[in-house]
Amino acid sequence: MIFYFSGVGNSRWVAEQIAEALDEPLVFIPDAILEEKSYTLQPDERLGFIFPTYGWGVPTFVEQFIARLRIENVGYLYMVTTCGDDTGMTYEIFCKDVQRRGWTCASAWTVQMPESYICLPGFDVDTPTKEARKCQNARQRVVDIVEALKTRQVGIIDTIPGPLKWAKSHIVRPFFNRYLITPRYFKATDACIGCGKCAQVCPYHNILMKDKKPEWGSDCVLCLRCYHSCPEHALHWGKMTKNKGQYLYHGGQ
């Protein structure tokens, strides 16, 4: 069984590839939260968590999901995180999250994919060339991950911590989560045509259309799917996204 989250489609693509190759069920974390179901794994069934790296760590809503998940028969457990650049200490943070449940992470991988974060100066989507290269590399990487998972490899820590990993995950991350994971600055500009696409695509149903304009509730994880999906590029996060690009996973072709 694979539990996954994805904002702009990178982690969804990885999760779908792995689920298909291993013939295992795939569950979208926001759906699982809504359904409040309990799960029982088959004997020898693998348990995977696949999610994007946020602020050099496991997204806090994924951590909360792991803490509350009702599941029996947990054995072989792994994580795959996608990122634009590097993951800091996401692996170590994930290990602690699952250890609190009495579980052990057997193996972990990072798949570098096109950038989705655009809410700070210096962060923007990748150029088409870089995007294509990352998607091309990701295809081979997923093949390798599937091979390792088929034989339930233990002890693989194939992640991309990057430089200054401790500072990023222990100093920047708390600040990032506290002040920057917020819908407070979202706004639709005059270019908005009231199509409602942003509301339709929000995985947390956090956007309501009022008088043909989107309004954001407080239940936002900053996945940025609304921003990247707007057909008029009319949705912005304060001034930070001015002149920034849009990206949704399409295979880099």
Please give the residue ranges that form the binding site for ligand SF4 (CB under 6 A). Answer: 7, 183, 188, 192-198, 202, 204, 206-207, 214, 216, 220-226, 230, 232, 234-235
Query: 4 near 33, Cβ under 8 Å?
Result: no
169 forms part of the interface with ligand FMN (CB under 6 A)? no
Q: Tell me whether residue 63 or residue 232 sits nearer to ligand SF4 (CB atom).
A: 232
User: Phi, psi (5° rounding) for residue 148?
Assistant: -65, -40
- Residues 97-126 interacting with ligand FMN (rule: CB under 6 A): 113, 115-117
Lookup: tokens for 139: 């295809």
- Comparison of 43 and 121: residue with beta carbon closer to ligand FMN: 121
Q: Which is nearer to ligand FMN, 116 or 159 (CB)?
A: 116
- Shortest distance in whole angstroms from residue 84 CB to ligand SF4: 16
* Closest approach of ligand FMN to the CB of residue 67, in Å: 20
Footprint (CB under 6 A) of ligand FMN, residues 69-98: 82-86
Judged on CB neighbours under 10 Å (0-12, 13-18, 19+), 191 is exposed
Torsion of CA 77, 223, 110, 241, to 10 degrees: -170
The tally of CA atoms less than 13 A away on the side-chain side of residue 201 is: 19
Nearer to ligand FMN, 31 or 104 (CB): 31
82 binds, among ligand FMN, ligand SF4, none (CB under 5 to 8 A by kind): ligand FMN
Please give the DSSP secondary-structure letter assigned to residue 41.
P
Close Cβ partners of 3 (under 8 Å, ≥ 6 residues apart):
27, 29, 32, 47, 48, 49, 50, 65, 69
Residues 178-237 that bind ligand FMN (CB under 6 A): 222-224
Distance of alpha carbon 138 from the chain centroid: 15
Which 7-46 residues touch ligand FMN, going by CB under 6 A?
A: 7-12
Smallest gap from residue 41 Cβ to ligand SF4 (A): 29
Q: How many other CB atoms sit within 10 Å of the CB of residue 149?
A: 22
> What is the distance, to the nearest Å, from the Cα of residue 224 to the centroid of all Cα atoms in its chain?
10
Residue 112 or 206: which CB sits closer to ligand SF4? 206
Of the candidates 54, 61, 186, 216, which one interacts with ligand FMN according to CB under 6 A? 54
Q: Is the separation of the CB atoms in 67 and 103 below 8 Å?
A: no
Least Å distance between CB 123 and ligand FMN? 8
Binding interface with ligand FMN (CB under 6 A)? 6-12, 52-56, 82-86, 113, 115-117, 222-224, 249
